[in-house]
């Protein structure tokens, strides 16, 4: 291979197998200085394996990685970091009890003339300089645990910069931050580009990819599919490259609903979080809940479901006023909630698919406290077929499933408790296009069965494509209740920013 000075990172024929399964097969990549290069692919396409190899966390079976014309061989994490490859992890690898400056220089602590004596003043000053250069307003002495996710991300980027990173890998950096924070992030990315840093960018969000990236490389099932300039691609082409087939109609047809009111919320208020939230959902209707991150959508859902308390207001279910103190009560009354926090609130990783699916309805499959295993098994198998959960069987542990299938298990659990109304909170977050499509169809099936659906989503196409009516929240207040015909992305955004 010849030395190409403007080529920052070159990857040739990289392959990696796990126990006979090819996770990566002959993958190629060229990253130039000052380029934002998106790596796209469905979950399981091999993106994270690829990034782990680049970071030196895994060693490849074959293939070569060149950094600025020098081959990287058997490099471990310390080596790759030293050579200038940094990664911003999706699940922030920060130490919550240390300060911003201490986190930035973690592992490379500044000392004074005694090589073991920490020099806090110097550390803080250097951290401050980097943060200022980034245009970020965070005090270097703040403890990490007091920062928002977006701010933690900035600290991680500052850490990469302090490390003189030439290549920065960003793994779904926008999955948990607000639109405003995304704008800040993109500005920083543009600055980094100017300084000649190459960025490998992983994300599931299509519009964002086209907004920020110069080049797009697509992987599918560990295979290298191709690399193209972003300007030569459009969304349908990119999707078909990722999925390997064309998805023409992402959203199913919406059938009008004219059932009676199932859930009615009146002037629901939780002091300092949200106030005067009023809406109704009818049988077979999807009410979209739109708004920016932090608008209070999840908090409203949590209050209705009994996870948090509320101070004022009234909730009616099927015409009856109810007061819910716990999720157990909410489920018993017929309210289901699929959380945005799949790992935290959704499933029990160490338990099997079957045990997870029946968890909310276990007493229905039990007699005098004894679980009737046969009945439980048939119920779980039936749900797995209905929701097309891909697994080796009902006895497989949920921790071994893909994100999309884990989400389906959580939805199955909620549905198994026979709810009248289901609140879906970011139901397609972090799952790939194929599984998204299936969840959209599933939502349609639910409404066909007469279930009322409240869907919280930050993806406006999803809100517009599935909802009968759309409630927009901003800073804890409702700013609009739109019917489907009058809603567009612009209108929703206008109310969401109000």
Partner 1 sequence: MNTLLTRSKNLGQYGIFGAFVVICLGLAVINPQFMTVSNWTIIITQVSINALLAFGVTFVIITGGIDLSLGSMVAVTGVVAASLAHPDTYPVIVPIGVGVLSGVAMGALNGLVITKSKVPPFIVTLGMMTIGRGLALILSKGRPISNLSDSFNFIGGGSVLGIPFPILILVVFFILCTLLLKKTVLGRYIYAVGGNEQAATASGIRVNKVKMAVYTLCGGLAGLAGILLTARITTGQPNAGAGFELDAIAAAIIGGTSTSGGTGTMTGTLIGALLIGVISNGLDLLNVTSYYQQVVMGAIIIGAVVLDSWNQKK
Query: Site residues (CB under 8 A) for partner 1?
Result: 18-21, 305, 307, 326-328, 330-332, 337, 339, 344-351, 355, 359-360, 362-363, 366, 369-371, 373, 391-392, 395-397, 400, 413, 417
Q: What is the DSSP string of 81-93?
A: HHHTEEEE-SS--
> Helical H runs in 294-347?
297-305, 327-333
Q: How far is the CB of 413 from partner 1 (least distance, A)?
A: 7
- Residue the block writes with tokens 């049988």: 283
- Give 293 or 345: the residue with its C-beta nearer to partner 1: 345
Q: How far is the CB of 357 from partner 1 (least distance, A)?
A: 10
Spell out where 128-249 has E strands: 167-171, 198-202, 215-220, 223-229
- Give 125 or 362: the residue with its C-beta nearer to partner 1: 362
- Give 24 or 169: the residue with its C-beta nearer to partner 1: 24
Check residue 342 and report its DSSP letter.
I
Closest CA to 261 of 32, 485, 468: 468
Closest CA to 336 of 464, 254, 446, 257: 446
Q: How far is the CB of 108 from partner 1 (least distance, A)?
A: 29
Q: What is the DSSP string of 52-119?
A: HHHHTSS--SEEEEEETTEEE-S--HHHHHHHTEEEE-SS----TTSBHHHHHTTTS--B-SSTTSB-
Q: How far is the CB of 151 from partner 1 (least distance, A)?
A: 24
The token pair at 209 is 């990819």
- Give 228 or 397: the residue with its C-beta nearer to partner 1: 397
- Give 205 or 397: the residue with its C-beta nearer to partner 1: 397
Q: How far apart are the two ends of the chain, measured CA to CA in Å?
A: 56
Q: How far is the CB of 34 from partner 1 (least distance, A)?
A: 40
Q: How far is the CB of 145 from partner 1 (least distance, A)?
A: 18
Residue 469, φ and ψ in degrees, nearest 5: -135, 155
- Give 399 or 498: the residue with its C-beta nearer to partner 1: 399
């Amino acid at each position: 291979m010849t030395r190409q000075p403007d080529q920052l990172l070159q990857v040739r024929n990289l392959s990696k197998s796990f126990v006979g399964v090819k996770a990566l097969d002959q993958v190629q990549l060229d990253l130039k200085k000052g380029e934002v290069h998106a790596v796209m692919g469905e979950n399981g396409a091999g993106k994270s394996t690829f990034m782990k190899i680049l970071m030196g966390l895994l060693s490849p079976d074959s293939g070569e990685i060149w950094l600025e014309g020098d081959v990287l061989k058997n490099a471990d994490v310390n080596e790759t970091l030293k050579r200038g490859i940094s990664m911003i992890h999706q699940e922030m690898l920060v130490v919550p009890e240390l300060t911003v400056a201490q986190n930035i220089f973690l592992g490379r602590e500044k000392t004074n003339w005694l090589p073991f004596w920490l020099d806090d003043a110097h550390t803080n000053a250097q951290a401050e300089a980097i943060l200022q250069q980034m245009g970020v307003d965070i005090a270097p002495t703040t403890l990490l645990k007091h920062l928002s996710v977006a701010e933690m991300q900035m600290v991680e980027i500052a850490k990469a910069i302090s490390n003189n990173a030439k290549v920065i890998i960003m793994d779904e950096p926008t999955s948990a931050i607000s639109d405003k924070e995304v704008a800040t992030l993109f500005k920083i990315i543009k600055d980094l580009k100017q300084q000649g840093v190459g960025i490998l960018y992983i994300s599931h969000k299509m519009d964002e990819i086209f907004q920020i990236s110069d080049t797009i490389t697509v992987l599918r099932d560990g295979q290298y599919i191709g690399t193209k300039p972003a300007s030569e691609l459009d969304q349908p082409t990119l999707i078909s490259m990722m999925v390997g087939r064309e998805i023409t109609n992402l959203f199913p047809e919406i059938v009008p609903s004219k059932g009676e009111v199932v859930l009615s919320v009146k002037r629901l208020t939780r002091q300092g979080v949200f106030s005067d939230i009023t809406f109704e959902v009818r049988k077979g209707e999807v009410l979209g809940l739109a708004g920016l991150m932090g608008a209070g959508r999840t908090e409203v859902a949590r209050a209705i479901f009994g996870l948090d308390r509320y101070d004022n207001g009234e909730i009616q279910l099927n015409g009856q006023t109810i007061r819910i103190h716990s999720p157990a009560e909410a489920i018993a009354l017929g309210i289901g909630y699929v959380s945005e926090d799949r790992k935290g609130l959704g499933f029990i990783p160490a338990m099997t698919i079957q045990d997870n699916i029946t968890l909310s309805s276990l007493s229905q499959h039990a007699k005098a406290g004894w679980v009737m295993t046969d009945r439980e098994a048939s119920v779980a198998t039936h749900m797995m077929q209905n929701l097309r959960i891909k697994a080796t069987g009902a006895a497989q542990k949920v921790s071994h499933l893909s994100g999309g299938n884990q989400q389906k298990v959580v939805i199955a659990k909620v549905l198994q408790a026979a709810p009248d109304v289901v609140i879906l909170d970011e139901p397609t977050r972090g799952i790939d296009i194929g599984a998204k499509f299936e969840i959209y169809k599933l939502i349609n099936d639910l409404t066909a069965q007469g279930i009322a659906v409240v869907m919280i989503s930050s993806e406006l196409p999803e809100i517009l494509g599935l909802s009968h009516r759309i409630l927009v929240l901003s800073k804890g207040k409702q700013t609009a209740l739109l019917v489907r015909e009058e809603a567009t992305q612009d209108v929703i955004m206008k109310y969401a920013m109000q």
